[in-house]
Structures are given as C-alpha cells and as structure tokens.
Structure 1
Amino acid sequence: MADVEIEIEEQESEQLYFPEPSERQLTARAVIVGCLVGSIVSCTNIYIGLKIGWAFGASIISAVLGFSIFSLLNRKLSVLETNIAQTSGSAAGYMSSAAGLLAPIPAMMLLGYNFSWYALMMWSVSVAFLGVFFAVPLRRQVIDVDKLRFPTGTATAETILAMYGDAADALAKARVLVIAGICAGLFTLAYHFYPLLEQPPIHEWLPGVTFLAVAAAWGFKVYLGPSLLGAGFLIGPRVVLSLVGGAILGWGILGPYSQYMEWAPGPVMDYKNGPRGWLLWPGVALMVAEALGSLAFSWKTFVNAFTMPVAKSLDEEQTVSGHIPNSWWIGGLIGGSILAIIITQFVFEIPWYLTLIAIPVSFVLSIVAVRSAGETDINPVGGMGKVTQLIFGGIAPGSITTNLMAAAITSA
C-alpha cells in the first residue's frame, strides 16, 4: 500500500498540469488553428529545407498564436485546447519533412522523375499513417513506462502554462512574431524588385580588394535573406560555427587544393568536373561516418530499447496504453503498411517486398531515434535515414529509387 502511495506521489510530481474534469480538449477550433499555423510553417519548411536541408517545428508558434488569436476574440482556449493546437500544428509543420519533400522527392525529380500532386498526396498520407501508428507502442514505452523527459516537449508545456499565468506576456510574444513576419515579408518583397538587397556584391563595389573577388568566386558572399537569419536564431552558435568551419575547410581549403591538383579542373560551381561536385563526396562521407558513429555510441540506447520493461498485468497495460486498444494501432499499422506498399509499387515502381523490408527496418531505427530525442532532445532522423540507405545499398544495389524512398520511410 505504501509503495502504491509513493508511486502515485511520484507520478503527480512529474505531471505539470492537472486538468478540470470537464475541461475542453479535442475541439474543432483547436485543431483548425493548429493546422492553419502548421500548414504555413510546412510551406516555409519546404522553402528553407530546399535551401539548407532543415525543417523547423511549429509547436511553440502554434501554441502562442492559437492562445493569442482566441484571447483577442474573447473566446480563450483552455490549456488542453492550446496543447491540441500545438500538437496539430507540430504535425502539420513537419509534414513536408516527413513526406520526403525536402530530400528524397527533390532528388528523384533532379534525376528526371515527375510526380503528380495526387500521387505525392497519397504518398504523404501513407507515411503519415505509418508514423502515427508507430507512435502508439513507442509512446507507451518512452513516456508511460520509461518517463523520458523530451526537453522540447517539456519546454512547450512550460510555455503554455506560463501563458496562462501571464496573458500579457503571451500577447507580447505574438506581437513580436507578427512584427517579425511583416518585416521579413516586406524585405523579401523589396529584394524581388532590387536583388542587390539580398546579396550585396561587395567584391564589385570594392574592385581593388583582390581577396574579396577570390572569395566571391568560391561562394563566400554576403547573404541577407531573413530565412537564414531566423534559422541562425533557432539553431544557435554551436551548429552555426560548425557550418562555418565546414565551409572554410571545404570551400576555402580543400576546394582550391582539388583544383590546384587538377582533381577537379572544371569551373568552381560545376557538379560534373568542378570542385563543387568533388566536395560532395567528402561531405557525404563525413555525414555517413557521423551517422554510423552516433549509432555506435548510442549502443546503450539500443540496449535500453530492446530490454525495456513491459506492463505485467491487464490493468497496468490499460493504464500505460492510454486506453488505446491494441487492435486499433495494430490494425492501423497493417493498413498503413498495405497503403505504403501499394503507393511505392505503383508510384515509385519499388517492388512490394522491398517496402515490406523497409517498414520493420524503419521501426527498429525509429526506436533509437525516439529514445535519443527523449533523452537528449536530438532526433537523429538524418542519421537513421543514411543507415537505411546503406542497408538498401546492399539489398538492392543500383536501385536509386528504392534507396531514397526507403530512407524516406525511416525519416517519416
């Protein structure tokens, strides 16, 4: 009895919010505002993702804007409704990345493939279904049993609670978001009419400075686009400095050296014979090595993932599962798998048995990725995708489509 009371106290101490019995949660307005904000973020993620290969979440933005919009309309969302808004916003915001619209699909289009909008929509739905139903057993383990912290999720929850403690502060944050968005939009509109605003040619304005001309020839130019400035605010100095270091090493040292040694004698920006194409290979090698290294150093996470405790009784199973019957998520997983097999067979011409292999491989790797995100707030989705590519490089050598889309399933 004492053990039960201690366990209840521990659970309550970890719970950030205790809702009222009649508090509204899953409502149409919360889902709609979250999806609207998430859709906008998803569109911006496509633009930014095609530029720099990253996507950004919409959790806190959806929570702040949802709270602020309905507060201004005097129809304030409840705490749980705001959580639904950020959940739907986050799901919609990441959809561009989950559907492979930032890497695999553009890569295939560069190789000459063309896809209709409805084919891509069906593909997006199929991987979305897989992701949702993968999440149910993972949620049981990492949240209900292991109680991993998920730092970003915890920060979002704290933000929501802080907004309800200080509504004026939340409205001020929303005001900053709107003002920043308007300024970025006006600047973008301006440089469409006057492109020099985005990339001022300083090397042309100072023709006597030879160093600037040489640096510009190797891609070192000033870029003032607001999207990358905002990305710098979000990702922080550690990643930014790593990118700067890579640019200097690659384009400032190795690129000129490869041209000097005539390994890449073509024009600097030529993919076929120039340094740009030559630098692709050491860059990819570094990324794959980092992915495999991270996987190797995550052996404890792997062990924990496959030696995790399970519920020991029916009552405990019902509590841990969040009242989601096994038949629901298993049936959904089977249905999602069948849909993915059909879509990949007829849209991407990938044999059904290869997709059938890709799905369980993706599930195994997703266990590692989710645990990593819960423990460290780092989701190694790119690394897991590269591991999948290596696996299918051996299973289906020479099949570019299979290699790319198998990685897309893992990333989703």
Structure 2
Amino acid sequence: MSERQSGRAVAAPVLVPDESSSPSLHPVPSEVPASTPPELTARALVAGGLIGAVLAVTNVYTGLKTGFWESGCVLSSLLAFGGLSAMARRGPPVSPLETNLSQTAAVSVGAVPATAGLLGAVPALAMLGTQPPGWAVALWGVGLGTLGVLFAFALRRRLLEDEALPFPTGAATAELISTLHSTGSAYAERVRGLWVSGLASMGLTLSRDVWGLVPQASMLPGSLTVGGLSANSLMLGIGWNPMMLGIGVLVGPRAGLSILLGSALAWAGLAPWLVSAKVVTDTSFPTLSGWLLWPGVGLMVGAAATSLLSQVGALPSVMRDLRKLGQDGAGWESTAGRWVARAVLPAIVLTGVMAWFAFQLSPLYFLLALLLTFPLCAVCARATGQTDIAPMSPVGQLAQVGFGLGVPGHPGLNVAAGGVVSGAASHTSGSLWSLQAGRLLGASASRQLLVQLPGVLLGAAVAVPAYALLVSTHGLGSETLPMPTAQQFKAVAELASKGLGELPPSSTLATGLGFLAGVLLSVGARGRLARWLPSAAAMGIGFVVPAYYSVTLCLGALLAAGVARFRPSATQTVQSAGAGAIVGESLLSVLIAALVAAGLIHQG
C-alpha cells in the first residue's frame, strides 16, 4: 500500500495495492439499460462468497498478527475475473458488471473481522476479563455490518455523486476490472505472481510451523548487545514470514520505513534505557511491550485525532442525507432506499440485544454509542473518500474516550461502545469503495446493496471460528499474535476509565510525547514535507510488534520500491505476489491451528 492507499494512518489499517495510474473512467448512470449484460448472477454470487471467505480468514490472521487488514477490492476483482472466466466456458461470457458484483460481495464478507471487533474490541475485552460467546459476537458483527452497509447506501449519493469524492481504491478497482475485460494479457500478468508466491508462502509456513525446519526468525548474533541487552532478547533480526514481506510490498516504502523507525526507537532505544534505568526489571517481550505500548498508542491516537478534527465540518450535511434516506431516486434506487430505511431499525435492535447480552452494554449506553455512530461513520467515510485513509479504529477510540470520561471505572464498557462505532465504520468505508467502483462501471447500486447484506452473514460465519481457532492455539497478545489494535483498544480503555495514574512507571511522559509527535507529524504530512515525514500511526505499530516483524515488513516495502524504480513493468506482478504471500501464509496458518486444536498434528 503506497501513500495513496487506504488505512495507512490508523491502527488496523486497510491494505490496498497501489494502482499507479489515475482512473480514466467516467461516471455512468447507475440505472443501466435492460440490454446491459447480466450483472446479478448465481456464478457471481458463488465466486464472491468463496473469495470473500478466503479474505475473511486472511484478515483475521493478518489483523491479529500485525494490525493490518486487506480491503480486498483489487485482489477480489482479480480472483473474481479468473473464477468467472472459468465458469463461463459453459455459459454466457463474463461482463465487467458481473466481476464488479462479485468483488462487492467478497469485500463485504472480508470486512467482517474488523466489523465484528475480532481485531480490536473483542480480544481487548478478553484481555480485560470479559469473553463473549462466539455466536453472540457473530450476531453482533451481523448487526454492525448491516448498519455499515445501510449507512454507506445513505451516504452514496452525496459523497460519490454530489461531491464527487475520489475514493481512489474504488476508482482503481473499476480501472482494473475495465482493463481485465479489455486486455487479454492483463490477467495473466497479475495472476502469475499471485499463485507462485501463494504456493511458496504455504511451503515456507509448513516448513516453519509444522516440520520445524525453518525458525520463526534469524536473530542477530547473541554476542551483539544494544544498551547492555542482547540482540536476541530484543528480537532484532529478520523473520521467516512471507506474510510480512507481502504486507511490506503493499504498504509501500513510507509506511515500511515508518514502522522500522518506530521499532528502532522502541526496541533499540527505549527498551535498553528501561532496563538500565531499572524502570523494568524483566526483559521478556510481554513486559517490555507492556511499557512500550503506551508511547506507541500516543503516536496513533495523536495522528487519528488530527485526521478526525479535519472532518467535523461535514456533519450537518451528512445528517441531512440520513434524514432523506429512501425519499430520493426512482425505480430500483427508490425501492432499495425504502428497504434500507426499513432495515435500519431491525439492525439496531439486533445489535442492541447482543450488546446488552454479550458485552454488558446497557440499552441506554448502547443508544448513546449509536448516537455517536451516525456522525462518526460519516466522518470516517468522508476521510476515506478524500484521502483513501479509513480511520475505523480511531473513531472507535474517540467514542471510548467519551465513555471513559463519562463513566469512569468501567474499561469494558468503553471498549464495547468503541466497538459499536468502529465496527459500523469499517463496513461503511468498505461498502463505499465498492459502490464507487460500481458507479464508474455503470453498475446498479441497488444490486450491490443486495449482495453486500448476505455477505455480512457469510463473513460472520467464517471469521468467528477462524478467530477462535487462532486465539486458542496461540493465546492473546503472544509473540505470534501480538494484536496491536486490541492492545490499543485496551490501553485507551484503561487510560480513559482509570486515568494517568494507572500507567506503568515513567510512561505518562512518553505517552504525552507520543501523542504530541503524532499530532505534529500528521499536521506536517498535509504540507510540503509530506513525502519526507514518517507516518505516525505506522511508527506506533512498530512500538507494539516484535522488532523482526518490522524489519521483515520494511524489507518487503523496499523490495517493491526497488522493482518500481528499476523495472516498472513488473510492478503489478510484484504487488500480486505480495497479496499471494499474505493469503498463502494466512490460510495455511489457520488450517494448522485447526489441526493442532484437533490433536492431529503438533507444531514444530
């Protein structure tokens, strides 16, 4: 993901492969003539569901491991085109609208891990001592996902048509679909790297996690010390993680170098000082990361607050749009709008019941969270449209702060309230990317809505079991699953509900300095120095994950940048290879976790 890509400035950012050229497509009316090729077909739904299931499993693993998750717009378009083309050998030819509808369904399925809070709120609650049952989390995700889809449909006309916000990921997706259907070689060029890297990633993961032939990481020599601590204890080295290389390929050099900078400051700078100053006496990863988490959270929250403040002025116009829901349009648009308006109340009731039953969020507090959800989803959507950065976790953490200050002493309460806001915002942004692609291709927004809603159900059915498997196998906040977003939710909850006095010794000043640095870096990134300043949110992630994660990720980012510089024709192949590496390791890791849980294998 390059500087044009979504989510790079927030915790749990969304990965989107960089499409280097600006979209050349022009908007087409969403009500297309009856002679248009088929759009809503059984094969499009089947392909979208299968691709979305893969994406959901991948996002659970990558989100818990690194804090990043993949929006899936570009990747699912590529896979959908290939799958639909294979199905079309015995049927009518595939149309761009079919491919777009398939990616729309896949994106809706794949966003559910973030929507249901599996990457942030749910593990944070577990670390605070509250473990909601899996079926309740699934229904909670269905309710929030439905609200997110409905909000996106409500905001579509103003953001996509009236204000014509670019939503670059959606535009890049439309351009890719158009290219795949007009250029025979485009698919072969992109898919080659995807499949080769995916298979290689699976092979390396199998060798590492089952056979024990490959270590988790190659550390620097134990004789090498940094501030009196051995390189081994600081986890300085390079990981044998194809997924990390793949994430680096997609995030781009600025984010990759920013994560490495944050990691260097944390693990090669602050960690040795903590030990030498006797602030901490235990040099284990959990102890050190428990302190370093705080300045990292300060960086991420400072960056998020700056981004959100810039969007506050848009709230009045958004609220007017929500009140008009179902009153505009004609034909399919009017009918869909009315059904959306009618579906809002059932979705609210479902989410509210689950919030009360599983998350101990009383009806009154749920309604207060819901009042924040409407405007903050709009803020998140507008930021996504303007910058392609989707601040899902920050809007949730803003709600956390409000609840923490209003109801002190109940950290679980503000985590649950933050989960309501961030969950709905996740699906709102993902839906708008798909709706933008559809608008540029001349698709029916109403039909896209029809496939997004069942996609939420499938996503919950796939993501929740995958999450349970991984957590039961590796544990919460372990070296394998450091859960950066969940750690951030937990930290903000404790800070907002208990105050600065609950922070680890000497970390208050570090947290404040991190917040100030996040604000200054985010403000500076809006000016001429943008290309030279590091990403504050990416630096914050470097404080939380093991150092070798950051080194490996940065290596992938520099590799992709080198290819783009010296062999531009191979850029798209390398990006597809990065996506393949992520998918390959994620899928096999979840399968290994299932086999371990069943007692069929033992990890090497």
TM-score with structure 2 setting the length:
0.61
Q: After TM superposition, list the pairs within 5 Å mapping 1:306-325 onto structure 2.
A: 306-307=316-317, 317-318=328-329, 322-324=333-335
Instruction: Name the counterpart of 1:35.
Output: 49
Instruction: Name the counterpart of 1:227.
Output: 243
Instruction: Name the counterpart of 1:143.
Output: 160
Q: Distance in 2 between matches of 1:320 and 1:142?
A: 21
Cα 1:68–1:315, aligned 2, differ >3 Å: closer, same or farther? Answer: closer
Q: Does 1:283 align with 2:296?
A: yes
Instruction: Name the counterpart of 1:350.
Output: 361
Q: Distance in 1 between matches of 2:127 and 2:420?
A: 20
Instruction: Name the counterpart of 2:266.
Output: 250
- Choose which of 406, 412, 415 in structure 2 pairs with 1:395: 406
Identify unmatched segments of 5+ residues in structure 2: 1-24, 424-604
Letter in 2 for 1:303: G
Letter in 2 for 1:358: A
Cα 1:323–1:16, aligned 2, differ >3 Å: closer, same or farther? Answer: closer
Cα 1:320–1:51, aligned 2, differ >3 Å: closer, same or farther? Answer: farther
Please state how far the C-alpha of 1:119 moved relative to its aligned partner.
1.6
Q: Distance in 2 between matches of 1:255 and 1:390?
A: 28
Please state how far the C-alpha of 1:200 moved relative to its aligned partner.
4.2
Please state how far the C-alpha of 1:47 moved relative to its aligned partner.
0.8
Q: Does 1:332 align with 2:343?
A: yes
Please state how far the C-alpha of 1:181 moved relative to its aligned partner.
1.2
Q: Does 1:177 align with 2:187?
A: no
Instruction: Name the counterpart of 2:395.
Output: 384
Instruction: Name the counterpart of 1:303.
Output: 313
Please state how far the C-alpha of 1:194 moved relative to its aligned partner.
4.5
Please state how far the C-alpha of 1:117 moved relative to its aligned partner.
2.7
Identify unmatched segments of 5+ residues in structure 1: 1-11
Highest Rg: 1 or 2? 1
Deviates more, 1:156-165 or 1:110-119: 110-119
Cα 1:171–1:208, aligned 2, differ >3 Å: closer, same or farther? Answer: same
Deviates more, 1:241-250 or 1:111-120: 111-120
Instruction: Name the counterpart of 2:64.
Output: 50
Q: After TM superposition, list the pairs within 5 Å mapping 1:51-66 onto structure 2.
A: 51-66=65-80
Instruction: Name the counterpart of 2:104.
Output: 87
Q: Deviations over 1:5-55 (max 9, x none)?
A: xxxxxxx95339996633211122112211111111110111111111111
Please state how far the C-alpha of 1:276 moved relative to its aligned partner.
2.2
Deviates more, 1:210-219 or 1:186-195: 210-219
Please state how far the C-alpha of 1:220 moved relative to its aligned partner.
1.4
Please state how far the C-alpha of 1:293 moved relative to its aligned partner.
2.0
Q: After TM superposition, list the pairs within 5 Å mapping 1:153-172 onto structure 2.
A: 153-172=170-189
CA contact (8 A) 1:30 1:77 kept: no
Instruction: Name the counterpart of 1:239.
Output: 255
Count of equivalent residues: 392
Deviates more, 1:322-331 or 1:80-89: 322-331
Question: RCO higher in 1 or 2 (8 Å CA, sep ≥ 6)?
Answer: 2
Q: Deviations over 1:191-239 (max 9, x none)?
A: 1244462434444xx5555569822211212202111111111111111
Q: CA RMSD in A?
A: 2.8
Instruction: Name the counterpart of 1:3.
Output: none
Structure 2 residue matching 1:222: 3-state secondary structure:
strand
Structure 2 residue matching 1:43: 3-state secondary structure:
helix
CA contact (8 A) 1:142 1:371 kept: yes
Q: Distance in 1 between matches of 2:364 and 2:166?
A: 37
Structure 2 residue matching 1:24: 3-state secondary structure:
coil
Letter in 2 for 1:398: G
Please state how far the C-alpha of 1:345 moved relative to its aligned partner.
0.7
